[in-house]
Amino acid sequence: MNIKINSILLILIFCSKIFADDLNILEEYKLLYTDLSHFNEYGYKSFYNDKSNNALPNINFSQGMLKRTDNHYDCAIFGDGFFKIRLNNGLVGYTRSGEFKINSDGEIKTKQGYSLYDPIFADEYFSYIEIHNNHEVYEVLYTGEKKIIGELLTYIVPYNLLEHYEDAIYVLKDNQTVKDELIIENMLYNQFLECSNYNMLSVLLRMYYLLSIPNNNLIQNKDFKKELVRLQIAKISNQNLVLDRSILNLNANIKEIMVLMKNIEIPEMKERNVEDNEIVDLLMMEIKIREIKNMIRQIEEGSITQYDQYFDANNNYLEAILPFIKWDY
C-alpha cells in the first residue's frame, strides 16, 4: 500500500514539474513576444537577458544605442535615469523615450500626449527648441535669440520596482512606494533617440528554441510559428555584415568631416593681399571647397537614407509575421 502511495506521489510530482515547466515556457514566450512587438519603440527596455540567454520577468534596463534623428524635439538619455511623466489615470510614469512634441498651448509632451511631471512651456512665437547636455531647455526665436524655458529633469528609480506599462513607459509595481531622486550625472543628447536595448537575433533564437521543445502544447500552432521565426532568423543571418559595418563607419566619418568643414572660413576678397593671378586661384579654391561641402552634405543625407532603408527592409518581415507568432494565434 505504501509503495502504491509513494508511486502515485512520484507521478504527481513528476507531472507537476512538467506542467510547471510548460507554464514557464509559455510565460517566457510571452515575454519574448513582447520584446519583438516593441522592436521599433525608442527607449524600450527588454525582458531578454543576454547574460542568461533567456527572458526574465525582471526587466533589463541596460543602455541602448543612440540614433541621430535631426529632430529638434527628440532627446536621448546617456546614463542612468528616466523622464518622469503624468499618465492619464493618475499614475506616475517613467520613460527613456524622448520623442517629444509641443501642443497648441506650447507645452512639451510625450508622443502619446502625456505631460512631463515638471512641465515645460514654450512661448507662442518660436522657431524650435534646443535641449542641452546639462538638461537646460531653450526656445530659439525666429530672430535667432535663445531664451531658457526650463530644465528637462531626469529621475532615478530602483529598477526592480518597475514594471512595463505600455510602449516604452514603466510604472511602479502594485503597492510599491518609493521616493525617486533627481539625477544630473547623466547627459542628454538633443536630436538623438535611444534604441531598444536588445539584439533581435538573440530573442528570435530563444523563441525558436522554445518552439522546438517537444511535448509543449501550450503554444498553439507551434510548427507554423517555428517556421515563420526560422525564416526571420535566416533573413537576419544572411545580412551583409560588411555592408552594415561600412555604412555605420561612413556615417561616423561623415559626421567628423562635416564638423571640420563647417569650421572652414574663407576670408573676404578685400582682406587678401595677393596678385591678380593669385586671386583666380583663390576663387577656384573657394568654388572647390563649396562643391566639396555640398557633395559631403549629399553623401551624408544619402547614406543615412540608405542606412534607414536597409534596416527598415529587414524589419518589414518581422512586422508582418508578429500577429501570427503570438502565443494564442
Region of poorest pLDDT, from 160-169, 250-259, 282-291: 250-259
pLDDT more than 90, % of the chain: 48
| Separation between Cα atoms, residue 253 and residue 96, nearest integer Å | 28
| Separation between Cα atoms, residue 323 and residue 138, nearest integer Å | 43
pTM for the whole thing? 0.73
**pLDDT at 103 > cutoff 60:** yes
Label residue 215 by pLDDT band (50, 70, 90): confident
- 3-state DSSP call for residue 11? helix
Look at residue 254 in the predicted model and tell me its pLDDT.
Answer: 56
> Averaged over 262-283, what is the pLDDT?
54
* Residue bearing the bigger pLDDT, 203 or 13: 203
**pLDDT at 315 > cutoff 90:** no
Bridge partners of 76? 189
Bridge partners of 140? 128, 146
Label residue 17 by pLDDT band (50, 70, 90): very low
* Ramachandran region, residue 9 (left: φ > 0; alpha: ψ -120 to 50; beta: rest): alpha
Highest mean pLDDT among 38-47, 229-238, 249-258, 302-311: 38-47
Q: At 55, phi and psi to the nearest 5? A: -95, 135
Q: At 157, phi and psi to the nearest 5? A: -135, 140
Label residue 313 by pLDDT band (50, 70, 90): low
* Residue bearing the bigger pLDDT, 273 or 290: 290
| C-alpha cell at position 304 | 543615412
Strands 192-194 and 66-68: antiparallel
pLDDT more than 70, % of the chain: 70
**Could you count the other beta carbons within 10 Å of the beta carbon of residue 192?**
22
Report whether 179 contacts 104 (CB < 8 A): no
* Ramachandran region, residue 214 (left: φ > 0; alpha: ψ -120 to 50; beta: rest): beta
> Averaged over 232-259, what is the pLDDT?
63
Look at residue 306 in the predicted model and tell me its pLDDT.
Answer: 54
Strands 154-156 and 82-86: antiparallel
Count Cβ neighbours within 10 Å for each residue of 70-91 and write b for 16 or more, e otherwise: ebbbbbbbeeebbbbbbbeeee
What does the pLDDT look like over 52-69, one tens digit per residue? 899 999 999 999 999 889
- 3-state DSSP call for residue 1? coil
Nearest to 235 by CA among 317, 290, 167: 317
Look at residue 256 in the predicted model and tell me its pLDDT.
Answer: 56
| C-alpha cell at position 77 | 538619455
Look at residue 60 in the predicted model and tell me its pLDDT.
Answer: 95
Mean pLDDT of the chain: 80
Region of poorest pLDDT, from 41-45, 94-98, 308-312: 308-312
Look at residue 45 in the predicted model and tell me its pLDDT.
Answer: 96
Region of poorest pLDDT, from 21-30, 120-129, 222-231, 297-306: 297-306
* Residue bearing the bigger pLDDT, 153 or 286: 153
- 2 CA to centre of own chain: 60
